[in-house]
Structure 1
Amino acid sequence: MPDTIIVLFNRDLRITDHPALAQACQDARQVVPLFVIDPAIRPRGRAGFLIECLGDLRESLRDRGADLVVRRGDAVAETMRIAAATGATAVYASADVSAVATKRERRFQNERIEFRTFPGITVVPPGQLRPANGDHYKVFTPYFRAWSEVHWRPIAETPDTIAMPEVKAGDIPTARRKPHLPGGEREVRRRLDLWLRHCLRDYAAGHDDLAGDHTSRLSPYLRFGCVSPLELAGRAGASEEFVRQLCWRDFFAQVTLAFPGMPRDDYRPGRGDWHQDKEAEDAWREGMTGVPIVDAGMRQLAAEGWMHNRARMIVASFLTKTMRLDWRVGADHFEELLLDADVPNNYGNWQWVAGTGNDTRPNRVLNPVRQAKRFDKEGEYIRRYVPELEHVPTATLHEPWRAPSPILGYTSPIWRG
């Protein structure tokens, strides 16, 4: 039995259903829980949320007799320094799929230490399901069928105690807290219990209602691994529609593993014909397009670091299909501000909407006015985030350019339906 194993945390900031941590506690006498803050990987608008997640993880580990060791620098180099200081002979980590993560894993394989990866970031490991004629599924529906039939791994046991060698823990840095959901596993478990009890049964009927906001808002916690997607899928199994959303996460993970250029390169080249318009780009980012439903979504993003999923589709379609601006402009802006942005889901979804990705109908266009009239019929969502339109009658709210006279204080539209 190895004396000491390092568990390297990345996007798995929890102790519940954490296969790498559970296995390390079985395999070694002592475990070093480690998180490395890599200056090369900017947390962007997620810094405060990340810090709260790390603080919560540290508390959970201390409750079990251990601590979270925090270092700053290159993840591989800092991990090897900890290994040398503690005599650790192995590093366990949750497998990930981004180009940065897979490069890091390859580097560990070249070090003089045992390196093992474990599932935990998705429900079904990205490489587990393969079609007969390729290395990954390119279309969601057949993937969903295969995903629904596969046998899921058992939930990993949560360790009651964790023995740890003497090592300086290090400080968790501070970050300015913006108005957002509080981070951490304890917070998400409280929210999850409430949401499953009171909201899950209405999810299918209401998750597209912009004003009602019946979505779970669990995505930031999934992004940082504060909650196990496998556990969530099992507990939410009564709602096929919700579980389907978790499958979409897995789908884009297996696409990204096979196509690591997802953040920069068109998954299906030749489908995009973009032009540049700095003024239009800025108007879109600032929520000043003059199209109320688009502006509401973009202002929600700026204020909360989050956006309703239906609004995400509307603003993305408007940028790429209506204004014909490059999807990378939008994806990078989302990456900058969204609490839940990660490579597979953010860039995979943007390419899907833009027609360069996995959508089987690449010419699909979401008309923002029709979408607004369908999913924000009374204009409650728009009025919530665009106060200039608070007193505009519903009859003209969705198309203010049709009002009898210009609406004072609101920008002229850059597009009219």
Structure 2
Amino acid sequence: MTVSVALFTSDLRVHDNPVLRAAVRDADAVVPLFVRDTGIHRAGFDAPNRLAFLADCLADLDAGLRRRGGRLVVRDADVVAAARAVAAETGARSLHIAGGVSGYAMRREARLHTALAAVGCTLHVHDAVVTALAPGRIVPAGRDHFAVFTPYLRRWEAAGVRGTLTAPRAVRLPDGVESGPLPERAEVAGVSPGLAGGGESAGRRLLSSWLHGPLADYESGHDDLAGDATSRLSPYLHFGCLSAAEVINRARQRGGPGADAFVRQLAWRDFHHQVLAARPDAAWEDYRTRHDRWRSDEDEVEAWRAGRTGYPLVDASMRQLAHEGWMHNRGRMLVACFLTKTLYADWRVGARHFLDLLVDGDLANNQLNWQWMAGTGTDTRPNRVLNPVIQGKRFDPRGAYVRRWVPELADLADGEIHEPWKLTGPRRAAIDYPEPLVDLAEARARFERARGLG
């Protein structure tokens, strides 16, 4: 009997999974393997919200495999050592894995190739599993990646997305393969109280609901903070509970301006992955340095983390992050701009805080979006500054989003809620809400001087 291994990483699903399909096709029996990688722990990427969501994902993946006659094999170890051990135990002649873009993923693939070869097992790396289009599939003339989104989008749309694969009907596990216990959400401490449930089943239900309803209004409503009109699919894409290719194919089947706008957001996701694949050091180093000499004021940074800056929309967004482990995209842009340009603090400080809390904390999208807002990334307007008062009046005009997350301002009128510092006398004294951390005009002037703009 021939044996293959499907090593799950960021593809925790049975539907439209080229890794699982190839492993099933490749041999008589398959070991569906997930390794709780000690290397991830050492790197500090196993944040509580993602660990809790991961536990849901693994339980659901195991259930999906069991419905097909198999089960998930879980090991706690270094991922390369565990994969080598499973291959040796079962006599597997092939191991299949989704291609990654981080420096860690690239090193993992190189180590796997060497370790597996020593036990007669061949490594097969599959592209377009985590992303819709494989990083490096399209490149500009004379370069290894696109540095500007618009030309990338044109080529991305012309290249086309692969078709959607069905889930395998049967997954046969070889006898005698031992597994550790599945992790449980209840075992994880420090989880945000409003964290969503994970897993492929939950993701597919959410996707169907999104496609048959809110998607149609996405183009006009995606920046409406109170309306919460985004898909909320990002955690399921990050963990691979949903395939980006399938999501795009199904959205395009629905059609319309909303679908087009939504698919562009998924193209942004691919764009950032191809940047990081070509420039792995951009995870922590400036993609385009502005020679910033960042300020280091821990009191200001802590006020930003706690949602106590005195700017209601910034604070509402940060409090949503703490409660849900998720934040509206418009809020992410605003709080990143506020930290890096208004407080002039290092983008890495903000990116680390996001990775500590975000359930969809993806290295490529998180780090490169932070760099985009800081002006050290791929933004063609690196010195743009978002005014939190103007942003509030534009994207939360009735103040409903602020009232939801900053309840101490709930009784203010619509015209007051984004500028509570203008209140005077007993009304101001009655509100337990801080004065603005900085003056916006002074902070902007400071930033422009630092960047040599004035």
Q: Which category of TM-score, normalised to the shorter sequence, fits these structures?
A: over 0.9
> Secondary structure of the residue that 2:415 maps to in structure 1?
helix
Hey, what does 1:414 align to over in structure 2?
Answer: 437
Taking the TM superposition and a 5 Å limit, the aligned residue runs for 1:143-292 are 143-166=152-175, 167-174=177-184, 175-176=187-188, 178-237=193-252, 238=255, 239-292=259-312
Task: For 1:32, give the aligned amino acid.
Answer: V
Hey, what does 1:92 align to over in structure 2?
Answer: 96
Give, in angstroms, the shift of residue 191 of structure 1: 1.1
For 1:242 and 1:346, the matched residues in 2 are separated by 18
Kindly indicate whether residue 72 of structure 2 is the aligned counterpart of residue 73 of structure 1.
no
> Secondary structure of the residue that 1:40 maps to in structure 2?
helix
Hey, what does 2:113 align to over in structure 1?
Answer: 109
For 2:166 and 2:404, the matched residues in 1 are separated by 43
> Secondary structure of the residue that 2:240 maps to in structure 1?
coil
* Deviates most, 286-295 or 176-185: 176-185
Kindly indicate whether residue 360 of structure 2 is the aligned counterpart of residue 340 of structure 1.
yes
Task: For 1:282, give the aligned amino acid.
Answer: E
Gaps of 5+ in 1: none
> Secondary structure of the residue that 1:34 maps to in structure 2?
strand
| C-alpha contact 2:76 2:180 (8 A) present in aligned 1 | no
For 2:139 and 2:292, the matched residues in 1 are separated by 28
For 1:48 and 1:320, the matched residues in 2 are separated by 30
| C-alpha contact 2:38 2:79 (8 A) present in aligned 1 | no
Give, in angstroms, the shift of residue 253 of structure 1: 0.2
Task: For 2:21, give the aligned amino acid.
Answer: A
Hey, what does 1:15 align to over in structure 2?
Answer: 14
Of the candidates 405, 419, 434, which is equivalent to residue 399 of structure 1?
Answer: 419
Kindly indicate whether residue 135 of structure 2 is the aligned counterpart of residue 126 of structure 1.
yes
> Secondary structure of the residue that 1:210 maps to in structure 2?
coil
| C-alpha contact 1:94 1:121 (8 A) present in aligned 2 | yes
For 1:126 and 1:140, the matched residues in 2 are separated by 14
Hey, what does 1:43 align to over in structure 2?
Answer: 46
Task: For 1:138, give the aligned amino acid.
Answer: A
For 1:400 and 1:277, the matched residues in 2 are separated by 24
Task: For 1:117, give the aligned amino acid.
Answer: V
Give, in angstroms, the shift of residue 154 of structure 1: 2.2
TM-score normalised to the size of structure 2? 0.90
For 2:87 and 2:132, the matched residues in 1 are separated by 30
Give, in angstroms, the shift of residue 46 of structure 1: 1.0
Aligned residues: 416
Give, in angstroms, the shift of residue 301 of structure 1: 0.1
| C-alpha contact 1:272 1:356 (8 A) present in aligned 2 | no
* Deviates most, 398-407 or 182-191: 398-407
Give, in angstroms, the shift of residue 69 of structure 1: 0.3
For 1:214 and 1:249, the matched residues in 2 are separated by 19
| C-alpha contact 1:271 1:356 (8 A) present in aligned 2 | no
Task: For 1:12, give the aligned amino acid.
Answer: D
- 1:177-202: per-residue Cα shift (whole Å, max 9, x none)? 64311100011111111111111100
Gaps of 5+ in 2: 441-454
Task: For 2:33, give the aligned amino acid.
Answer: L
Hey, what does 1:83 align to over in structure 2?
Answer: 87
Give, in angstroms, the shift of residue 152 of structure 1: 2.2
Task: For 2:225, give the aligned amino acid.
Answer: L
For 1:416 and 1:398, the matched residues in 2 are separated by 14
Give, in angstroms, the shift of residue 49 of structure 1: 0.5
Give, in angstroms, the shift of residue 302 of structure 1: 0.2
Hey, what does 1:135 align to over in structure 2?
Answer: 144
Kindly indicate whether residue 33 of structure 2 is the aligned counterpart of residue 29 of structure 1.
no
- 1:6-39: per-residue Cα shift (whole Å, max 9, x none)? 1100000001010011011111111100000013
Give, in angstroms, the shift of residue 271 of structure 1: 4.7
For 2:46 and 2:64, the matched residues in 1 are separated by 23
For 2:104 and 2:246, the matched residues in 1 are separated by 26
- 1:198-245: per-residue Cα shift (whole Å, max 9, x none)? 111000010000000000100000000000000000111221100000
Aligned-residue identity in percent: 49
For 2:159 and 2:149, the matched residues in 1 are separated by 15
Task: For 1:280, give the aligned amino acid.
Answer: E
Hey, what does 2:447 align to over in structure 1?
Answer: none
> Secondary structure of the residue that 2:124 maps to in structure 1?
strand
- 1:272-300: per-residue Cα shift (whole Å, max 9, x none)? 33110000000000001011000000000
For 1:363 and 1:220, the matched residues in 2 are separated by 30
Hey, what does 2:449 align to over in structure 1?
Answer: none
> Secondary structure of the residue that 2:283 maps to in structure 1?
coil
| C-alpha contact 1:25 1:31 (8 A) present in aligned 2 | yes
Give, in angstroms, the shift of residue 416 of structure 1: 3.2
For 1:40 and 1:389, the matched residues in 2 are separated by 44
- 1:111-135: per-residue Cα shift (whole Å, max 9, x none)? 2121011121001001101100200
Taking the TM superposition and a 5 Å limit, the aligned residue runs for 1:287-326 are 287-326=307-346
